[in-house]
Structure 1
Amino acid sequence: MANVRLSPGDTAPDFTLTDADGKKHKLKDYRGRTVILYAYPAAMTPGCTKQACDFRDNFARLTDAGYVVLGLSPDSEAKLAKFRDRDNVPFPLLSDPDKTVLTAYGAFGEKQMYGKTVTGVIRSTFVIDPQGKLTKAMYGVKATGHVERLLRDLEV
């Protein structure tokens, strides 16, 4: 099964998802702001923790530059709340248990893991402009060093 891949210029697929507290977040509610939506496989795992902490540690730089940061995974609200509280994550972590939004963004499907083809969440980052168009769609990003690269790319 080929994964859908989004590209800069595409309209970002709309969504309504709940965060760790069960609060609904709709992409259209963020119109007028630039959103960084990053998809990660599983809360509380080493790579995903490293990535979330990198976003956390650079959160002030990103928000000062006008960015909204949203994390996206198939984890339950309860697991996301535990992750947020354990690692002091200051931005919403969105729950997509049926992987509909992850699939719409091309962030769920076949990937290589330890030399095998598996189906799962593809670590990805999307930058969505104030009109809801993608300016970046990065797939298969590394947990370590990715946020630093993103900051350079965004000139933050």
Structure 2
Amino acid sequence: MPKTERTIAATAVGWFLVVGASYLLALTIAPAMPDLLTGDDYLSAMLKRSIFSLFQAPMLVGWIALVPHAAWLAARHPTRETAIAYDTFGAWAQTLFTSFGFMGTVVGISVAVAGLRQAMDAGDPSALIGGLYTAFDTTFLGLSGALTIMFFRKAARLWLDT
């Protein structure tokens, strides 16, 4: 990997850690943070569920970190070399988001299926629903991250064409 790609990957990890630390600090300072998400829509409910999920929270932090990372690169290193390296890095990151989203889908469906007998015996579908939440929410986060990166890669390619 050329130096610029390594630099972009390193700054992506840096932004992930900065956003993640800010996220953990916010949870420590304001434990009522999920109460701020009061909407009944899917996005609000998914964000509320993802805040404390060990599987979904890192994906959410990664998705949030994409914007400051791309903005920082565009502002600090507006060169053709950076845009080309970001495109290469973005292809890898897109695959990572999509893969983690799909892995969460499989894990969530597995959890739901594993709880099927218990749910049927108890007449309580909560074990099933929790697994399906994980499946659908991680799919959403993975695809959202991949689409966000796709947008930034396209913007970098358009910038290269000018």
Q: Report the TM-score range of the alignment, normalised by the length of the smaller protein.
A: under 0.3
For CA contacts below 8 A with separation 6 or more, give which structure has more relative contact order.
1
TM-score normalised according to structure 1 size: 0.26
TM-score normalised according to structure 2 size: 0.25
Name the structure where helix makes up a greater proportion of residues.
2
